[in-house]
Amino acid sequence: MADLDFYKKDMEKIQTQLLKKIEKVLGGLTVLDDAGLATAFKQINFVDELNALGFPALLAKVKGSYDKNAIKTFALLKGKQRTRHAATAVQAVEILSILDLTTISAGVTKYANELKTAMFRGLLIGQSSASIMQGLTETYGVGRALSSKQQVALLNDSFARFTRTTTAKLFEDVPEQKFEYVGPDDEVTRDVCVATLEMQGEGMTIAEIEAEAPVSFADGGGFNCRHEWIPV
């Protein structure tokens, strides 16, 4: 699977830059009365700020990883299979990637709105700019929210499910194709994944996997599963 480690690093950079911009303007906001704060609330848009700081470029990098993975899987199809899938299956795979990217974008919008709400809540109750910044940094700063371990795990899980679903989609007209379950076997590997790694022999068809394996083709062993299906 493609390496998405760049996401955390790039997102942390964006978060750091956004909080620095907030810190610069916060002093001016603390002297406003309620009417002034109401006007400022209407004018400030953190989604626009995140976009200006490079979120669209980061999303494009994620999309690039999705596309590279889909192309890699598509290349595994043989001549006639590839021709047959050239239009319909590729369109379906594109839809799958767009759905995931839409979810990521929605999460960024949610983050921006929550950050704005937290800032103005502090302003309206008279908190100092230092106190507001401390709260924002602890909740929305580096390693939190969009760059938290949980968010990165969600991203990796979505990408892994996309990979497995793409494989199933591209090979749906090749029912005889067998697949091998590939991935780590270490101290954090789930029992169902270990069992699948041990039982597969020379590979299994998708029908055999769904009927006999303790994992499913698309979901693997569950959330953030590190395994994928490779055509034998």
For the stretch 74-101, pLDDT in tens is 888 766 566 566 567 778 888 999 999 9
User: Which structure tokens are listed for 225?
Assistant: 């599963």
Numbers of helices and strands, H then E, in the chain: 10, 2
Residues 53 and 113 in one domain: yes
**Structural domain that includes position 40:** 5-173
Residues 128 and 194 in one domain: no
pTM: 0.89
Residues 182 and 164 in one domain: no
Give the domain-ending residue among 140, 173, 206. 173
Residues 146 and 192 in one domain: no
- The confidence score (pLDDT) of residue 135 equals 97
DSSP 43-109: H--HHHHHHHTTHHHHHHHHHHHHHHHHHHHHTTS-HHHHHHHTTHHHHHHHHHHHHHHHHHHHHHH
Is the predicted pLDDT of residue 44 greater than 80, yes or no?
yes
Residues 71 and 164 in one domain: yes
Residues 157 and 182 in one domain: no
Residues 140 and 33 in one domain: yes
Give the domain-ending residue among 149, 173, 197. 173
Gyration radius of the chain over CA positions? 23
Residues 16 and 51 in one domain: yes
Mean pLDDT of the chain: 92
For the stretch 181-208, pLDDT in tens is 999 999 999 999 999 999 988 899 999 9
Residues 145 and 54 in one domain: yes
In the chain, what percentage of residues exceed pLDDT 90?
Answer: 81
- The domain total for the chain is 2
CA distances in angstroms from 181 to 25, 155, 230, listed in the order given = 53, 21, 7
**Cβ distance 159 to 65 under 8 Å?**
yes
Is the predicted pLDDT of residue 173 greater than 90, yes or no?
no
Residues 103 and 134 in one domain: yes
Give the integer Cα–Cα distance in Å for 36 and 41: 9
For the stretch 52-66, pLDDT in tens is 999 999 999 999 999
Three-state DSSP at 185 gives coil
Is the predicted pLDDT of residue 1 greater than 80, yes or no?
no
Least confident of 6-15, 52-61, 101-110, 166-175: 166-175
Residues 136 and 211 in one domain: no
Give the position of tokens 């979120």: 55
Give the integer Cα–Cα distance in Å for 91 and 131: 50
Residues 143 and 69 in one domain: yes
Give the domain-ending residue among 154, 173, 192. 173
